Amino acid sequence: MLPKKIILSEIAFQKIDRYPNQATIIFLHDSLGCIELWRDFPSQLAEKTKCNIIMYDRQGYGKSCPFSYEKRAVNYLEQEADILAELLDFWKIENAILFGFSDGGSIALIFAAKYPEKTIGIITEGAHIFVEKITLNGIREAVHQYETTNLKQKLERYHDNKVDDLFNAWTKTWTSVAYQDWNIEHWVQQIQCNALIIQGENDEFGSLKQVEKIVSQTKGHSKALLIPKVGHTAHRENPEIILEESAQFIAELTRKN
């Protein structure tokens, strides 16, 4: 159950709808992200694939409304997948291709498992399906940066006065005792669509076990794409290879549909 009924009109989104009767790629941002932080990556992928795109700020992020709850639930990523299903109905999109980064990647995996009839295929980047020591260390380092550098001020440019709430929602949830057993492998095992699973080889928030476990457990065809010499934000650090591989993956999906 959602923490509170989401008012869809309070969710900020941006559409590029230039290609009639073509597939739509839905971009799902990370734990500190928003529409603006995707920069021009979505529009470049739209041009390469001749697909339409939608980006949106989840509740509590970017230009969307503030959180409607005080404490984030352990299953918040599943809740976000359910909200996405509502949004696709709102936008009248029956079959979507999901591109999810970090938290967005985990949401894409859950969504594909729960709503196979709405999903053509998924691309994930830096997705998590269980908690690792490297993840917790990366989050603790982010907390240190938030407390000792101008990271908070940088994030305020995109999230305004919601920054403390969203940062604490991420860091306090993941480092809580209750969250250490979080695991969505049971959802991964139900995924039927094809998937492109991307991760930087030097990802500071997750090991390659995340990729291996996803690829080995889906029922559809899943392909791993490991990007050398980059960290968690692979689509910013080496956008060329991700654009090329994603475009090829999407071309194969759309030919079949």
Output the pLDDT for position 5.
54
What CATH number does residue 99 fall under?
3.40.50.1820
Residue ranges making up the domain that contains 190: 8-129+183-256
CA distance 143 to 110: 27
User: Is residue 59 one of the residues assigned to a domain?
Assistant: yes
Residue 154 has pLDDT above 90, yes or no: yes
Cβ contact 255:49 at 8 Å: no
Average pLDDT over residues 59-81: 94
User: Is residue 141 one of the residues assigned to a domain?
Assistant: no
Output the pLDDT for position 69.
85
State the total domains in the chain.
1
Average pLDDT over residues 47-67: 96
Share in percent of the chain as helix, strand, coil (round to 5):
50, 15, 35
Residues belonging to the chain: 257
Cβ contact 110:82 at 8 Å: no
Output the pLDDT for position 257.
67
User: Is residue 86 one of the residues assigned to a domain?
Assistant: yes
CA distance 100 to 127: 8
By the 10 Å C-beta count (0-12 exposed, 13-18 middle, 19+ buried), 37 is classed as buried
Residue 4 has pLDDT above 50, yes or no: no
Average pLDDT over residues 201-219: 98
Output the pLDDT for position 68.
87
User: Is residue 48 one of the residues assigned to a domain?
Assistant: yes
User: Is residue 14 one of the residues assigned to a domain?
Assistant: yes
CA distance 119 to 134: 31
User: Is residue 31 one of the residues assigned to a domain?
Assistant: yes
- Return phi, psi of residue 143, to 5°: -60, -45
Structure tokens at 175: 């480092």
User: Is residue 150 one of the residues assigned to a domain?
Assistant: no
Output the pLDDT for position 70.
84
Q: What is the DSSP letter of 8?
A: G
User: Is residue 216 one of the residues assigned to a domain?
Assistant: yes
Average pLDDT over residues 127-145: 98
